[in-house]
Structure 1
Amino acid sequence: MPPLSFPDGSAETSDGDRSVSKTRSDALSKILDVPAFDLPATSPPRRRIPRQRLSFAGQLWTFLGVTVPLGGLVAAIVLLWGWGFSWVDLGLLLGMYVVTMLGITVGFHRLFVHRSFETSVPVKVALTAAGSMAVQGTMLQWVGLHRWHHQHSDCEEDVHSPHHGGDGLLGFLGGFWHAHVGWAFLADPPGLERYTQDLRKSPSLRAASALFHFWAVLGLLIPALLGGLISGSWAGAATGLVWGGLVRILLVHHLTWSINSVCHLWGRQPYRSNDESRNNFIFGVLAMGEGWHNTHHVFPTSARHGLRWWELDASYWVIRSLSAVGLTWNLKLPSAEAQEKERQ
């Protein structure tokens, strides 16, 4: 497994050369080739470890995390009947969706899991906060599980593959449920912290990840406060909490989980991969580029998942825009030759 970076700040290109280029003064980041099937940094050897169910308390908290946002949707429907739906509610829903979804896609996924670009510590902390507001677990847990997934994708050891539920319709539905949300009711694989050794070296990132519950509550308070201030009423605060908080969490949850389930079942496979990952147009758009999942599994360290002009990738647009103002650099992209080599 070739390393992606070195202590002196240099980066490795697909041909093994080290390219030392980390200047923030560049208008645009340096483009680096990306090797196909590069595993995440610091991943231990592959091994099969049976996962146990969470404790009763752990399962209860997970159940609440899954169902309370669903209850928010029910409340939103009731509010539609009584109070209607304002432009403020829509703005809070979309605004909080964009912030927290980007925290997951740009921060947790492309930066922390795959190190597809570099940035400063303040930006890393901000992305940790935004991703934590999506209420999908701590940053370090999320990264560890996702690196595990890439190392064992669609094998029996995969933490959330839809392909091991058994035969027949019930087996298919069981596999889909497990990949979508059932996996969250299982305990983390033993030794998962070994998959995040690189991130644990940073005191700032350890602290930001440990503040998960604070960020999660803040993600509910912000839309409630904004809704109340803009409308000048407690009713506005309540609808802000429901739409910008609970309904938004539900939306981000199921868009993220659909990458694990839907995008390993339905869609195109333009590249040769060692698993069942698929490019799915619907989730490519709704999940800010994450739905180009086959492309991502073949070029996991690429900052851009939608490599075709028509493959919308809002997360990459954000990363690229940040690079234009010096906030990100050393973006990694596969060369045209590498793309053609892996195409099927």
Structure 2
Amino acid sequence: MTVADSPIRSRDPETSGPKPILDGTRGLPQQVGVYVFVLVPLLALIAAVPFAWGWGLGWTDIAIAAVFYVVSGLGITIGYHRYFTHGSFKTRRPLRIVLAIAGSLAMQGPVHVWVADHRRHHAFSDKEGDPHSPWLFGTGPAALLKGFWHSHTGWLFNRNMTNAQRYTPDLLADKDIRRIDALFILWSAATLLVPALLGGLLTWSWWGAVTAFFWAGLVRVGLLHHITWSINSICHMWGDQPFAARDRSTNFWPLAIASFGESWHNLHHADPTCARHGVQRGQIDISARIIWIFEKLGWAHSVRWPTTRRLERLTKTG
């Protein structure tokens, strides 16, 4: 395991190129929404262990939670990330809409907001301007602890908003995405209430609806939040760096399954548009396999698969 060992240095505005463009600040309703979407699932996640101690969790809850975790998680990894942010493959309108809605069910923000932040992250990765680098404050124990909190969750409470006109003009011009983003509150309600409805119907009880709301709704959303945010924090602090990237991105294998392959983060930063992140022997990348299935079914095309020549160029030597 390796840990990066130098802090970010401020860049001279005269020589370092353009600064990231922000789009004002969030208003009070938006800021309150961020706190609700972050803290409520987190509190549910904290309450999960005592709640499950001998009661309150059944196989119906687990099954519903697993289905919604996979759908919303792949909506983030395949949809928001590899498709909308990086264009790792192309697809037709129906799948494009499905991916946008599936990602919205993760309660991580509308498509264009998530993508704008992530594109800015790549433009300034682990440098001044990166919205969630853990290396903003130095390398001492206190600085790293502060940096971990900032990169994992703290950055979400920053009121500054990434300028969508600069980073996501393609999505703002897409009528389907604008409509889906406008209904983000609806998707957020559905991702909590539909599991409750299913739990109630499958168990034919109000208690089944309550436990499904808790486990397959709140806890599942909270768990997926922190798996996603771990890519921002853990995968820029600890892990292996077999590929030459211009930042501190790492591969962290313990998160590979839960993140659907996103924790093979070093290759991703070395080759951001590549559809497969886990390219070495034994590296499981569920998202890449699903994209491969989409391609075989004719639902995806122009997939940017890794090539041996490119991987050899990116591999560190010496």
After superposition, the C-alpha distances for 1:86-134 in whole angstroms (9 at most, x for unaligned) are 1111101111110100000000000000000011111111111111111
- Separation (CA, whole Å) in 2 of partners of 1:97 and 1:122: 21
Asked if 1 retains the 8 angstrom alpha-carbon contact of 2:260 and 2:287, the reply is yes
Which sections of structure 2, spanning at least 5 residues, go unmatched? Answer: 1-16
The corresponding residue for 1:232 is 204
Residue 147 of structure 2 corresponds to residue 175 of structure 1: yes
Q: Percent identity?
A: 43
- Separation (CA, whole Å) in 2 of partners of 1:71 and 1:240: 16
Matched position secondary structure for 1:148: helix
Residue 159 of structure 2 corresponds to residue 187 of structure 1: yes
The corresponding residue for 1:273 is 245
- Separation (CA, whole Å) in 2 of partners of 1:300 and 1:331: 13
CA drift at 1:77: 3.7
What RMSD over aligned residues (CA atoms) do the two structures have, in Å? 1.9
- Separation (CA, whole Å) in 1 of partners of 2:300 and 2:315: 29
Asked if 2 retains the 8 angstrom alpha-carbon contact of 1:99 and 1:130, the reply is yes
The corresponding residue for 2:170 is 198
- Separation (CA, whole Å) in 1 of partners of 2:116 and 2:22: 16
The corresponding residue for 2:117 is 145
Equivalent residues in 2 for 1:1-344 (5 A)? 46-48=18-20, 54-81=26-53, 83-189=55-161, 191-344=163-316
- Separation (CA, whole Å) in 2 of partners of 1:252 and 1:114: 21
Matched position secondary structure for 2:239: coil
Asked if 1 retains the 8 angstrom alpha-carbon contact of 2:26 and 2:161, the reply is no
TM-aligned CA distance change 1:167 to 1:272, over 3 Å: closer
TM-aligned CA distance change 1:58 to 1:157, over 3 Å: same
CA drift at 1:189: 4.2
Asked if 2 retains the 8 angstrom alpha-carbon contact of 1:100 and 1:130, the reply is yes
Letter in 2 for 1:137: G
Matched position secondary structure for 2:238: coil
Asked if 2 retains the 8 angstrom alpha-carbon contact of 1:266 and 1:278, the reply is yes
The corresponding residue for 2:5 is none
TM-score scaled by length of structure 2: 0.89
Asked if 1 retains the 8 angstrom alpha-carbon contact of 2:57 and 2:215, the reply is no
TM-aligned CA distance change 1:208 to 1:58, over 3 Å: closer
The corresponding residue for 1:40 is none
Letter in 2 for 1:339: L
Asked if 1 retains the 8 angstrom alpha-carbon contact of 2:227 and 2:259, the reply is yes
TM-score scaled by length of structure 1: 0.83
- Separation (CA, whole Å) in 2 of partners of 1:179 and 1:290: 16
